[in-house]
Amino acid sequence: MYAKGQAEFGFVKGLVSLQAIMITWMFLKTTFPFLDNWMFFTFAPVLVVLKIVLHWVLGYWWEMNNFYDREADWANTRNPVLNGLDRKILKTDEQE
């Protein structure tokens, strides 16, 4: 239960990287001192929502093109132990 909660929290925490947002704001504020604080409070949420939408669109596209399966097949063909097990199991199934 603990590990599952930690994984879910990590997912939510990964959506919003506060450290990256604050460091970017500090850089912009020191580079362009005329920037007002309202810009930060306006653009930060917009950037977070944009990041979430772009990641979701990429994940949806990845799923629609079956890239998860292609990745798994590619990884399986590169694994000699798994290939040996597949050949052994398939030969056993064909003999029966």
Asked if residues 25 and 44 have their Cβ atoms less than 8 Å apart, the reply is: yes
pLDDT value at 39 more than 90: no
Specify the pTM: 0.57
- In tens, the pLDDT along 42-87 reads 988 888 888 889 888 988 888 888 887 888 777 777 777 776 776 7
- The span from the CA of 11 to the CA of 50, in Å, is 17
Predicted local confidence at residue 92, as pLDDT: 55
